Structure 1
Amino acid sequence: MANKVEVKELLDAGVHFGHLTRRWNPNMAPYIYMERNGIHIINLYKSAAKMQEAGDALNKIAASGRKILFVATKKQAKEIVAEHATRANMPFITERWPGGMLTNFITIRKAVKKMATIDRMKKDGTFNTLSKKERLQVDRLRAKLDKNLGSIADMSRLPAALFVVDITREHIAVKEAQKLNIPIFAMVDTNSDPREVEYMIPSNDDASKSIDKVVSYVSDAIIEGLSERKSTKDAKDDSKEEKTAKAPKAKKSQEDVEVPSTDAADKKAMKEAKKDVKLESKQETLDKAASNEEEE
């Protein structure tokens, strides 16, 4: 469960400032509180409720062990998103969105593998056998790949969800996610269409303080989900260890009370019976000898 959102903190961060009234999207009308000096003011109570809802959903996704891809290529959001996504151990795109990033994911994975191949060449000494010009070209390629795709190197499959800052700017990412039915979480300003995303947070997506406030809350919810997953996993491992430790003892106690098999019992009875017969015949022989001596 994500932490409660304080409306006063959102107000201090400037989350309530929307765009100019002439640039608004009519579908954002339910989330607009009023208009002041030609600017729309967002209803922060609705923003807080939507943040809580998005945080809870992201918490569950993180607890299930799946990845959430952060997308923000605008200047004021780049560093903030990169910092919080790294803190939550999630992939992110803060440079140019590579076309087909989701719909053509196999090709993107091949490009990521190129980086690993170049790193392997440098380790095993193959890189040094290349000419100076070739080495320079390989280094440039590695730097370019790392800049655009380095942050998604650990993402081996499609993400379970997308978190987008400014869906108008990142419309290509939104379209690709919609095509693959990947749920979208996004900061939606008054100039955007909230119908394009499943979990929208009505907020100012231009001011760095506002972006930092929302993204930090979201990343905290993800971190909480990851810690819940870890504690559940540790508890399962402990219970398994306890079961393994108890298993030999239970077996031993069962062996102690184990009844001998029917064959073994029968053999033992036969031996005792034969012993008794031998003793009886020996006694009879002695009795006969004693009676003969008396007759004589």
Structure 2
Amino acid sequence: MAQVEYKDLLDAGVHFGHLTRKWDPRMAPYIFMEKNGIHIIDLNKTLASLDDACNAIKGIVRSGRKVMFVATKKQAQEIVTEEARRLKMPYVTDRWLGGMLTNFATVRKSMKKLQTLDKMLKDETTASNIAKRERLTMSRDKEKLDRVLGGIVDLTRLPAALFIVDVKREHIAVAEAKRLGIPVFAMCDTNSNPDEVDFPIPANDDAYKSIALITLAIGKAIEEGLMERKQDKDDQRLQEEEEAKRASDSRQAAAEGADEAPAAEATAPVAEAADEQPE
């Protein structure tokens, strides 16, 4: 895993928290000091928390499960979308639909509708048979669904974990994940409640550089988990091939032994008869 240095966090402004009057007292263990009316986050705690989060998320991905990225604030949308697409992971960056996890079956119907509309509009034969007004309505519906559900359209089951930027803003997603027992990895600023998430990462969740640094670190851990999973599958396949080859060799050796036995038995009487002839 690409090691994030203390200086990297400092340069990205990860240590800048909110105004002291806006703080959440439950973030006290992660606050280093107060300066000019602003809380300063303890970057040593950030490094330790980020390391724990990366190790845990890598293990989840290595087991073949998905991690959903959630970030609907403007400064986080671009970097989170790019990283999720690169890793082929589900993401939500427009707005969180209530019940996206707890009412997943209904959301799946909307996702299937989006896939159907996309297929119909791409098929030139079908599209040419639809009236212009109806085609325009379908295009608008598709655009609206794609904006909200485009990042999770390929999701066939609930994700194994959530990575969230700003738990205060995404409190509905946190509540749904908590209700379903889905672990949450999240950037927590000084105005957040770290007790609501399983793996809080104390960091500035408003600055683009800070969000990018933490998101890319999490992305790197997911990438390593995917590579390790691929390596595990390759090793398993090689092992199965070797076992199959050994079994085949054993069967072949047994067959050859069975063929030689009757031949030996046939030559034995001839030898005995030669011994019994008079001199």
* TM beyond 0.5: yes
Q: Tell me how far apart the structure 2 counterparts of residues 52 and 251 of structure 1 sit (CA, whole Å).
A: 51
Q: Tell me how far apart the structure 2 counterparts of residues 253 and 25 of structure 1 sit (CA, whole Å).
A: 74
Q: 1:80 aligns to what SS in structure 2?
A: helix
Query: Which amino acid is 2:162 matched to?
Result: L
Contact 1:10 1:210 (C-alpha < 8 Å) held by counterparts: yes
Cα shift at 1:260: 4.8
Runs of 5+ consecutive residues of structure 1 not aligned to the other structure:
281-296
Structure 1 residue 251 corresponds to structure 2 residue 251:
yes
Cα shift at 1:125: 2.4
Contact 1:16 1:44 (C-alpha < 8 Å) held by counterparts: yes
TM-score by length of 1: 0.86
Q: How do 1:207-286 and structure 2 match up within 5 A?
A: 207-258=207-258, 260=261
Q: Tell me how far apart the structure 2 counterparts of residues 38 and 260 of structure 1 sit (CA, whole Å).
A: 94
Cα shift at 1:248: 2.9
Q: 1:27 aligns to what SS in structure 2?
A: helix
Q: 2:69 aligns to what SS in structure 1?
A: strand
Q: 2:206 aligns to what SS in structure 1?
A: coil
Structure 1 residue 26 corresponds to structure 2 residue 22:
no
**Alpha-carbon deviations, 1:106-155, whole Å to 9, x = none?**
11111111122123324272332221111111111111111111111111
The aligned residue for residue 7 of structure 2 is 8
The aligned residue for residue 196 of structure 1 is 196
Query: Which amino acid is 2:39 matched to?
Result: H
Runs of 5+ consecutive residues of structure 2 not aligned to the other structure:
none
Q: Tell me how far apart the structure 2 counterparts of residues 125 and 237 of structure 1 sit (CA, whole Å).
A: 44
**Alpha-carbon deviations, 1:224-250, whole Å to 9, x = none?**
000000011011112222333343332
Q: Tell me how far apart the structure 2 counterparts of residues 180 and 107 of structure 1 sit (CA, whole Å).
A: 16
The aligned residue for residue 167 of structure 2 is 167
Query: Which amino acid is 1:248 matched to?
Result: S
The aligned residue for residue 42 of structure 1 is 41
Report how many aligned residue pairs link the two structures. Answer: 273
**Alpha-carbon deviations, 1:249-291, whole Å to 9, x = none?**
3222112223758xxx7xx79x98xxx8xx99xxxxxxxxxxx
Structure 1 residue 92 corresponds to structure 2 residue 91:
yes
Q: Which deviates more from structure 2 when the two are superposed, residues 43-52 or residues 251-260?
A: 251-260
Q: Tell me how far apart the structure 2 counterparts of residues 171 and 90 of structure 1 sit (CA, whole Å).
A: 21
The aligned residue for residue 136 of structure 1 is 136
Q: 2:242 aligns to what SS in structure 1?
A: helix
Cα shift at 1:13: 0.6
4+ aligned runs moved over 4 Å, structure 1: none
Which protein is bigger by CA-based radius of gyration? Answer: 1
Query: Which amino acid is 2:138 matched to?
Result: V
Report sequence identity in percent: 53
The aligned residue for residue 116 of structure 1 is 115
Structure 1 residue 148 corresponds to structure 2 residue 148:
yes
Contact 1:88 1:220 (C-alpha < 8 Å) held by counterparts: no
